[in-house]
Chains A and B, each alone.
Chain A
Amino acid sequence: AQSVTQPDIHITVSEGASLELRCNYSYGATPYLFWYVQSPGQGLQLLLKYFSGDTLVQGIKGFEAEFKRSQSSFNLRKPSVHWSDAAEYFCAVGARNTDKLIFGTGTRLQVFP
Chain B
Amino acid sequence: DTAVSQTPKYLVTQMGNDKSIKCEQNLGHDTMYWYKQDSKKFLKIMFSYNNKELIINETVPNRFSPKSPDKAHLNLHINSLELGDSAVYFCASTHSRGPNTEAFFGQGTRLTVV
Residues of A that sit less than 8 Å from B by CB: 32, 36, 41-46, 49, 51, 88, 90, 93-96, 98-101, 103, 105-106, 108
Within B59-102, which residues are at the interface with A (CB < 8 Å)? Answer: 90, 92, 97-100, 102
* Contact residues in A for B43 (Cβ distance below 8 Å): 44, 90, 103, 106
User: How many residue pairs between the two chains, A and B, have CB atoms under 8 Å in the bound complex?
Assistant: 61
- A sample of 23 inter-chain contacts (CB < 8 A) reads A42-B107, A43-B4, A43-B105, A43-B107, A43-B108, A44-B90, A44-B92, A49-B102, A94-B98, A94-B100, A95-B99, A98-B99, A99-B48, A99-B99, A100-B33, A100-B45, A100-B48, A100-B56, A100-B99, A101-B45, A105-B41, A105-B42, A106-B41
Residues of B that sit less than 8 Å from A by CB: 4, 31, 33, 40-45, 48, 50, 55-56, 58, 90, 92, 97-100, 102-103, 105-108
